[in-house]
Structure formats: C-alpha cells, structure tokens
C-alpha cells in the first residue's frame, strides 16, 4: 500500500527513490502522481517527505494535476546546461543532481524505478555514480530479492480498489457483448457464419472486442482468443484469419486496462460454439472443479503455494501431468494458478507451488486453473479476478457467467 | 539499418548483445524477431552470427514465427534451476549464462537493450557480472553517447518502409474520416453541436478516432486533441469533457502505431471549426510558411540543425521568441522541428538546433513547426512525416490536406 513506502524504503536502506517515465507508460510514476498523464519526467521521493515531480515544461499543466510539487527542466536549468555542455547525458546528470538537491537529497543511497529503456537506465546510473559520487544506487539483488514497488502494489487501498472494481464491471459488460455477438451467428456444418453465410473469423471477434472495450474507455493489451490446437498453447494469441468452428474449445483470455495505461482486469472464459465434444466437456468440468478446489482451499493469511498445491493434487489425482510432477511440461496443467493484478498485469502475490508469498487483505488476484492438450485440439482455462477484503475474506471481482457452450442456430433456421 | 548491426557492435567493442522483453512491448526484440509477438524472452546476438531467441515454452509457437533459432527456458533447465536454487534471480542468471553459451558467447563484452523494468535491469546486470565474471556489461555512456539500436533504427530498409507506408495510408484515412465526422456537426452560436443540439466534446472526437484507428488495425498512443488555451501547451492532451467551439484552433496530433506495438506514423493538423479568428489565420499562415521554409532548405546529406535554424531564422524574423533566442520559452516556437519515427515515436535523426545528426537516405522523419500563445488561446502546429529515398530526395509519407477551417452549417440549416 502507498502508506508502506517509507517502511519499504527504510528496509532497503534507501534515502530516496526516483521513478522515471520516458515516453512509455511507467507504473511507478502513475502510482506516485495519482494518475497524471506525464510522458517524460521523474518523481523523486525522499524518505519521509512529499514527492517532487520533475516535468518537461511542455507538460506543466498535466503535471499540476498530480497535486505534487512540480519543478520543470527549465527551472533546473537543463536547457542552459545543454547549450553549455553540448552533451545530453552530462546535462541530464547535472539536472538530475539539481533535482535531487531540490528534493532534499544532497547525498545518499537511491534506487531507480520505472518502465523505460534499460540501456539508458544502466548508463545513467553509471554516469551519475561517476559524476556525482555523493549518490550511490541500490539495486534489488540477492536471494529472493523483492522489489519495493512490487511490495507496495501487492496490497491495494480504497482508491485503487474503486478503480479496479470499475474496470471489472466494464470488462463484464464486454464479455456479455462478445457472447451475444457470437450467439447472433449461425452454424453451417462445422463453421460459424453470419446470416449471409460468411465465416466468422478470430480477427472479426477481436475487432469487435476492441471496439466494445474502447466504448468503455478500456484498451486491449493483446487478448488471447484461440481455438483448438492453438488454445492448447496457453499464450498463443490465436490466428486472425482462422474461422470459428463448432465443438472445439476457445480460450478467451481478456486482460484490458484503463485506456492509456492504468489498472487491469484479468478474466478467462472457455467457450465452445454450438456444442462441446464429450472430451472437451470432461476436461472443462475438471477445470471448473479445480477452480472450486482453489477457492475452497482459501484461508485468511495462508501461504499462496498451498492453494496451488491443492489444485495440483486434484489434477494429478485425475491423471494429468503438472509443472510439479513434470517440470516444464507442455501438456496437462502447465502454469501457476494465479497472480496479483493492479497497474501491472502480473503483480504479487504469485500463486505458484514455489511462491514465498502469503495472502493478505488488500490483495487483488487471479485464480486461473487450466488443462492443455494441443495434440488433441484441447485447451481449457477458467479465470476470475478476486480480492481479499479487510476482514480477510476472498470475494469475486469478475461476475460474468462461466458457461461453456454458446448456443447457435443452424444457417437458414 | 539491420545490416549495420555488426559494424555498430564492433564500433562499441561488443562481442554480443541481449535484447530483452518482459510483458511490455520492446522495440529491439520486435526488430530482431521480425515482428513475432513474444511477451517474455531474450534475443542474443553474437557479433557476426545469427541471433538466438530464448522463449518461454508457453510461447514456442509464436517464437517459431521469428524464423530464428529458438531455445526455451525448459531446454535451458530454468525450471530445474528454480527448484534447486529456490531463487528466481539466481536461476535467471544461470539460465542466461547457459543461453549465452548456446549462442556461442562463452565470455566477453555484452550490452542489454529493450524496454523493461529498469530496476530489474540494473539488478540483473550487477548479478550477472558478479556470478559470471567472464561477462562484462557495456553501457552507452560518455560524451554524446549514441545508442546502438538508435543508430540502426535511424535508416530504414525496404521492409520497414513498406510497413511505414501502410501505416501512413491508414492514418490519412482516419484523418479524412475525422474531418468528415466533425463536418457533419452544426454550429449553435459558438458551440459545435450534433443535429439534436447536443455539444460535441473532445472525448467524443477521441472515441471516434480510436474506433477509426482500430478498424484499420492501428492503435492510438495518446493523441493530442486540444483547443484554445490547451492547444497553446504543445503536450496538453485536451480535456475530454470540453465542447468544441468555433473560431479557435484545435491542435490534432495523431501518432498511432500498428496494433499491439510496431511502426508509428506521426501527423498534426490544426483545425478551426466553422471559421478561424483573424489572429489565428495569421499565425496559421506563418506556420505553413515555416513548413515550406523547412522543406525548401533541405539538401541531401545536410546537417539536420541547419533545417531547424532556417525555421528559427524565419520565426524570429516575424518577431516570435524561439528556444534559441529564449531557451526554455513557453511562448512562440518552443520545440525542435522534428525527429525520426519507426518502432519508436522519437528516433534519430533529431532536428533541433543542437542536433549532431545529418540527413541520410533511409531516414523517416517528421517536420512539425508550431507557434504557441496559450494566454491568447492560440496553439498552431502542422506536421507531416516524410522519408528520404536512396537518391537523397525528401518525399512525403503523409498525404492528407492541410486546410485550417472545417466548414460547418448552422443548427437548423
């Protein structure tokens, strides 16, 4: 939680931290600026003090929306430094040094965070340590290193939960709209077609979903919509040109976020157009049972790995290989049970059989058991997002139904 | 250009490079994998050898589309290492070491590239140098350090230009559709309204544009659509709830890319609904003249700064402050003239008055003069993307008209 940041910094011996954004959406800057849309800049946070936002003068109006103290690169003399030094790196180093002074950090141990160009990051850290030896950069390394922001993100405050609920509700609407869209089609033999007999392709469905998301100020971050053999590879996106067919399972894994970057939702449904083959029904029911096994195994404060172990015990009891019984297997139950979600699609806690995490109030997580047999054209996964309330109860965020078969009329009916 | 990579590596003393992707779109991985949609992995490129792609076993089918040699984390024993070492960082370090061996790099100087978590990057580089001292990581630091990929990206090959042309043509269509959408509205006094008299807001226009992009397999990366005072701040995105009004200029800066990450286009138009105030017309014509000054100043192989200097001379001659006459100014001509585009929205060459770059065949650039007077509710920018062909000619990629006024009927007409 944000209120943990001072303690998390102290535990790592950090006097200050720098969150960096440079054209690419950078979660820690969103986190510290309360969602202001800054595309270039720094947030410097001295331990125990209010953060300082260093902004490009072109973004000063957006920067003000953060509610933070703002200083621009012009205020710091960056452009004069550029003229004098004629070197962008040295001007940047000197400007960052001035910004650190403004934030009350005249020396000490710092750490750099954000999503950005890693080559520039490594170079900047070395250049600052060389030109401004009063600063030392900490890196989160060593046995089971735990990232400071990852720790903070893992428990959500009320403001964050409110945004996550809103994304969840809008995602539910998109699932219903997509179900209805497919259900408005027809079967022509094995093929799913429109009323004029034209095949419905995966590309058509994805375009429909993306528009439905946009209409609700959400954006797709590369959904999975894959059928048959492709569904058997958990991360295959699906072939745009492939037409939907009846009987075989479609894995539809949707993980949209607030438009332009922000909070995610994460949900998977497995759908069979028209009907499901018997073998598909059987696998589907086992995955649904595994979902229930996971939820029923939950106890407040438990080790997350025990939930995955309960699911692995269940699947192995049904004769499926798992990544515990057969490390690296690409058949059976091949992945972890779930993960936290927030400003990143994968956050803590992890729910794998080797995870060191425990469930805590404020966690927002996915539970997503699945079974994969690509050579038999089968992949099935069912996933909800859930949260743990202040009293330790596990409650659903996703509300959409978990039906397998989308009923379809025959062409001409 | 891709074919320059060996020479660029040699110039930096690199024996190998690692391009990294971890959930966030990472341009150098796209570049080296020919657009395969890998969300987690490495490309290791030994100088003078074919690259090796290290993939998550869940993405092995997508990885194969790269045409590269593929090795999975399972092949490298990563999951066994995780079980044995019980530490993700050490397992990662050992797996990367094994991958480097497979790529023919048993020691030497390496560099890490990509868009990713910078804290993890700094930590990984330190952990590898500590655990595997046969490797040393180079960082692009020092006077006017030039990034290896930035150098390669700055000149495009035929395949890249083909994709850039396609994005340009689709963006032109979206501009026309947006013009037509606004032109289908009415004026009610100063307000732009629909046929029922409801105000047309910036949010409405942005949603229209995003749908029009999606229909063409493009995605918005946070367009600017800002009117009046907001238009006077070059990076203000515009207020969603604000209604369009007549007379004042709208800065519409659209820089979409291939859906899910890929090549960008970049174009800006300034539009005035219904009519343009005289002062706006005057500023607009000066910006259009500056655009012509820029294009006419072009000579094959010239220093890019000379193009910006020609534009600054023109604007200063008209009495406007520029970032040369008044460093850090927020009025007048406040930014650089343009930049390269490609897999990143800002690439080389830069076209600022301090840029060290020269124009070269294969460059794809923007030219985007502008004038900003927020206190007078004026911002005007006009931008095309252009390319330099093999003979050194500067040719347009953007084709859409540069008209200022969108004619509007009165409500009830």
Q: Going by C-beta distance under 8 Å and a sequence separation of 6 or more, which residues neighbour residue A284?
A: A249, A270, A276, A380, A404
Buried b (16+ CB within 10 A) or exposed e, A114-151: bbbbbbbbbbbbbbbeeeeeebbbbbbbeeebebbbbb
B145 close contact with A: CB closer than 8 A: yes
pLDDT bucket at A235, cuts 50 / 70 / 90: confident
Q: Tell me the per-residue pLDDT of A142-195, one tens digit each, with 9 for 90 and over.
A: 666 778 999 999 999 998 999 999 999 999 999 999 999 999 999 999 999 999
pLDDT bucket at B413, cuts 50 / 70 / 90: confident
Alpha-carbon distance B261 to A220, whole Å?
12
The mean predicted confidence, pLDDT, of chain A is: 95
Closest C-alpha to B112, from A23, A145, A129, A116:
A116
* φ/ψ (deg, to 5) at A64: -60, -30
Same domain flag for B341 and B388: yes
In three state form, how does the secondary structure of chain B look?
Answer: CHHHHHHHHHHCCCCEEEEEEECECCHHHHHHHCCCCCCEEEEEEECCCCCEEEECHHHHHHHHCCCCEEEECCCCCHHHHHHHHCCHHHHHHHHHHHHHHHCCCCCEEEEEECEEEHHHHHHHHHHHHHHCCCEEECCCCCCCCCCHHHHHHCCCCHHHHHHHHHHHHHHHHHHHHHHHHHHCCEEECCEEECCCCCECEHHHHHHHHHHHHHCCCEECCCCEEEECCHHHCCCCCCCCCCECECECCEEEEECCEECCCCCECCEEEEEEECCECHHHHHHHHHHHHHHHHHHHHCCCCCEHHHHHHHHHHHHHHCCCCECCCCCCCCCEECCCCCEECCCCCCEEEECCCCCCCECCCCCEEEECCEEEEHHHCEEEECEEEEEECCCCCEEECCCCCCCCEECCEECCC
Same domain flag for B160 and B146: no
Interior CA angle at B178 toward B176 and B184, to 5°?
Answer: 105
CATH number, position B234: 3.90.230.10
Q: Tell me the per-residue pLDDT of A125-154, one tens digit each, with 9 for 90 and over.
A: 999 999 999 999 998 876 667 789 999 999
In three state form, how does the secondary structure of chain A look?
Answer: CHHHHHHHHHHCCCCEEEEEEECECCHHHHHHHCCCCCCEEEEEEECCCCCEEEECHHHHHHHHCCCCEEEECCCCCHHHHHHHHCCHHHHHHHHHHHHHHHCCCCCEEEEEECEEEHHHHHHHHHHHHHHCCCEEECCCCCCCCCCHHHHHHCCCCHHHHHHHHHHHHHHHHHHHHHHHHHHCCEEECCEEECCCCCECEHHHHHHHHHHHHHCCCEECCCCEEEECCHHHCCCCCCCCCCECECECCEEEEECCEECCCCCECCEEEEEEECCECHHHHHHHHHHHHHHHHHHHHCCCCCEHHHHHHHHHHHHHHCCCCECCCCCCCCCEECCCCEEECCCCCCEEEEECCCCCCECCCCCEEEECCEEEEHHHCEEEECEEEEEECCCCCEEECCCCCCCCEECCEECCC
Same domain flag for A200 and A232: yes
Q: Which residues of A touch B260 (CB under 8 A)?
A: 222
Measure the N-to-C terminal CA separation of chain A; round to a whole number of Å.
56
Q: What percent of chain B has pLDDT over 70?
A: 99
pLDDT at residue B235 greater than cutoff 80 = no
pLDDT of residue A222: 87
Q: Tell me the per-residue pLDDT of B277-289, one tens digit each, with 9 for 90 and over.
A: 999 999 999 999 9
Average pLDDT, integer, range A388-399: 97
Q: Which residues of A touch B127 (CB under 8 A)?
A: 141
Q: Tell me the per-residue pLDDT of B372-408, one tens digit each, with 9 for 90 and over.
A: 999 999 999 999 999 999 999 999 999 999 999 999 9
- B residues 93..112 contacting A (CB < 8 A): 111-112
B33 touches B68 (CB < 8 A)? yes
pLDDT of residue A88: 85
Alpha-carbon distance B173 to B370, whole Å?
24
Same domain flag for A33 and A133: yes
**Mind telling me how many Å the CA of A413 is from chain B's nearest CA?**
31
User: Exposed (0-12), middle (13-18) or buried (19+): which is B395, by Cβ within 10 Å?
Assistant: exposed
Q: What is the maximum span of chain B, computed from C-alpha positions, in angstroms?
A: 78
Alpha-carbon distance A21 to A117, whole Å?
10
Q: Which residues of B touch A321 (CB under 8 A)?
A: none
Same domain flag for A91 and A232: no
Q: Which residues of B touch A148 (CB under 8 A)?
A: 119
Q: Residue A13's CB: how many other CB atoms inside 10 A?
A: 12
Same domain flag for B217 and B320: yes
Nearest-CB residue to B115 (from A24, A137, A236): A24
Average pLDDT, integer, range B342-367: 95
Note whether B126 contacts A147, CB cutoff 8 Å.
no
Same domain flag for A70 and A169: no
A65 touches A55 (CB < 8 A)? no
Q: Which of A106, A130, A152 is the last residue of a domain?
A: A152
Q: Tell me the per-residue pLDDT of A21-53, one tens digit each, with 9 for 90 and over.
A: 998 999 999 999 988 889 999 999 999 999 999
Nearest-CB residue to B147 (from A119, A222, A354): A119
Taking the CA atoms of chain A, what radius of gyration do you get in angstroms? 24
Closest C-alpha to A56, from A43, A44, A73, A80:
A73
Q: Which of A152, A172, A188 is the last residue of a domain?
A: A152
pLDDT bucket at B412, cuts 50 / 70 / 90: confident
Note whether A140 contacts B147, CB cutoff 8 Å.
no
pLDDT at residue B341 greater than cutoff 90 = yes
Overall number of domains in chain B: 2
Q: Among positive and negative, which fits the CA dihedral B279, B283, B284, B286? A: positive
CATH number, position B29: 3.40.350.10
pLDDT of residue B86: 84
A57 touches A70 (CB < 8 A)? no
pLDDT of residue A144: 63
Same domain flag for A163 and A128: no
pTM of the model: 0.89
State both tokens at B292. Answer: 């012509």
Closest C-alpha to A148, from A306, A6, A349:
A6
- For B137, nearest residue in chain A (alpha carbons): A122
Least reliable range by pLDDT among A87-91, B18-22, B264-268: A87-91
A117 close contact with B: CB closer than 8 A: yes
Note whether B58 contacts A210, CB cutoff 8 Å.
no
Nearest-CB residue to A115 (from B87, B115, B140): B115
Closest C-alpha to B300, from B183, B195, B390, B222:
B390
| Residue matched to tokens 């990929």 | B149
Give the Å distances, CA to CA, from B74 to A326, B60, B120.
11, 11, 22
pLDDT at residue A61 greater than cutoff 90 = no
Same domain flag for B248 and B350: yes
Alpha-carbon distance B93 to B292, whole Å?
54
> Domain residues for B144?
2-152
Q: Residue B71's CB: how many other CB atoms inside 10 A?
A: 21
A208 close contact with B: CB closer than 8 A: no
Average pLDDT, integer, range B161-176: 97
pLDDT of residue B144: 64
Closest C-alpha to A190, from A241, A269, A243:
A243
Measure the N-to-C terminal CA separation of chain B; round to a whole number of Å.
56
In three state form, how does the secondary structure of B313-376 look?
Answer: HHHHHCCCCECCCCCCCCCEECCCCCEECCCCCCEEEECCCCCCCECCCCCEEEECCEEEEHHH
Q: Which residues of A touch B148 (CB under 8 A)?
A: 119
Average pLDDT, integer, range A334-356: 95
pLDDT bucket at B143, cuts 50 / 70 / 90: low
A82 close contact with B: CB closer than 8 A: yes
Closest C-alpha to A393, from A369, A360, A365:
A360
Note whether A147 contacts B120, CB cutoff 8 Å.
yes
Same domain flag for B196 and B323: yes
Alpha-carbon distance A267 to A400, whole Å?
9
- For A90, nearest residue in chain B (alpha carbons): B143
B342 touches A71 (CB < 8 A)? no
Q: Tell me the per-residue pLDDT of B56-94, one tens digit each, with 9 for 90 and over.
A: 987 888 899 999 999 999 999 998 898 899 888 899 999
Same domain flag for B6 and B33: yes
A113 touches B118 (CB < 8 A)? yes
Note whether A354 contacts B39, CB cutoff 8 Å.
no
pLDDT of residue A143: 63
State both tokens at B47. Answer: 């100088």
Q: Residue B241's CB: how many other CB atoms inside 10 A?
A: 8
B55 touches B70 (CB < 8 A)? yes
Same domain flag for A163 and A220: yes
Alpha-carbon distance B86 to B72, whole Å?
20
Q: How many CB pairs under 8 A join A and B?
A: 199
pLDDT at residue B33 greater than cutoff 80 = yes
Q: Going by C-beta distance under 8 Å and a sequence separation of 6 or more, which residues neighbour residue A322?
A: A312, A315, A316, A329, A332, A333, A334
Alpha-carbon distance B155 to A41, whole Å?
28
pLDDT of residue A69: 97
* φ/ψ (deg, to 5) at A74: -65, -50
Strand partners, B254: B267
B228 touches B271 (CB < 8 A)? no
Interface test with A, best of B93, B122, B262, B333 (most A CBs within 10 A): B122
């Amino acid at each position: 939680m944000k209120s943990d940041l001072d303690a998390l910094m102290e535990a790592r011996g950090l006097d200050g931290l720098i969150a960096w954004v440079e054209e690419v959406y950078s979660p820690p800057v969103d986190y510290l600026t309360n969602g202001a849309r800054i595309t270039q800049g720094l947030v410097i946070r001295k331990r125990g003090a209010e953060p300082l936002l260093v902004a490009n003068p072109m973004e000063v109006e957006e920067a003000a929306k953060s509610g933070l103290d703002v200083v621009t690169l012009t205020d710091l003399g960056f452009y004069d430094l550029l003229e004098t030094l004629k070197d962008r790196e040295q001007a940047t180093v000197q400007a960052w040094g001035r910004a650190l002074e403004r934030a009350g950090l005249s020396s000490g141990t710092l750490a750099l965070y954000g999503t950005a160009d890693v080559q520039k990051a490594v170079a900047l850290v070395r250049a600052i340590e060389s030109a401004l030896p009063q600063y030392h950069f900490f890196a989160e390394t060593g046995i089971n290193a735990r990232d400071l922001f990852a720790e903070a993100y893992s428990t959500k405050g009320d403001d964050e939960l409110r945004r996550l609920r809103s994304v969840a509700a809008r995602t539910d609407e998109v699932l219903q709209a997509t179900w209805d869209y497919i259900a408005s089609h027809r079967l022509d033999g094995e093929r799913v077609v429109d009323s004029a007999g034209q095949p419905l392709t995966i590309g058509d469905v994805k375009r429909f979903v993306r528009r439905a998301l946009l209409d609700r100020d959400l954006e797709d971050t590369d959904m999975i919509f894959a059928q048959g053999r492709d569904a058997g590879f958990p991360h295959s996106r699906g072939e745009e040109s492939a037409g939907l067919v009846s009987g075989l399972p479609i894995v539809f894994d949707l993980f949209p976020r607030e438009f332009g970057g922000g909070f995610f939702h994460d949900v998977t449904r497995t759908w069979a157009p028209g009907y499901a083959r018997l073998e598909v029904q059987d696998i589907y029911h086992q995955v649904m049972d595994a979902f229930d096994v996971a939820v029923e195994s939950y106890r407040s404060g438990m080790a997350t790995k025990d939930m995955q172990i309960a699911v692995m015990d269940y699947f192995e009891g049904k004769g499926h290989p798992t990544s515990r019984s057969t490390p690296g297997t690409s058949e059976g139950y091949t992945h972890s049970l779930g993960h936290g979600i927030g400003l990143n699609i994968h956050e803590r806690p992890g729910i794998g059989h080797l995870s060191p995490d425990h469930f805590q109030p404020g966690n927002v997580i996915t539970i997503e058991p699945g079974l994969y047999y690509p050579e038999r054209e089968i992949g099935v996964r069912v996933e909800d997002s859930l949260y743990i309330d202040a009293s330790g109860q596990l409650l659903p965020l996703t509300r959409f139904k978990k039906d397998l078969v989308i009923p379809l009329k025959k062409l001409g009916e």
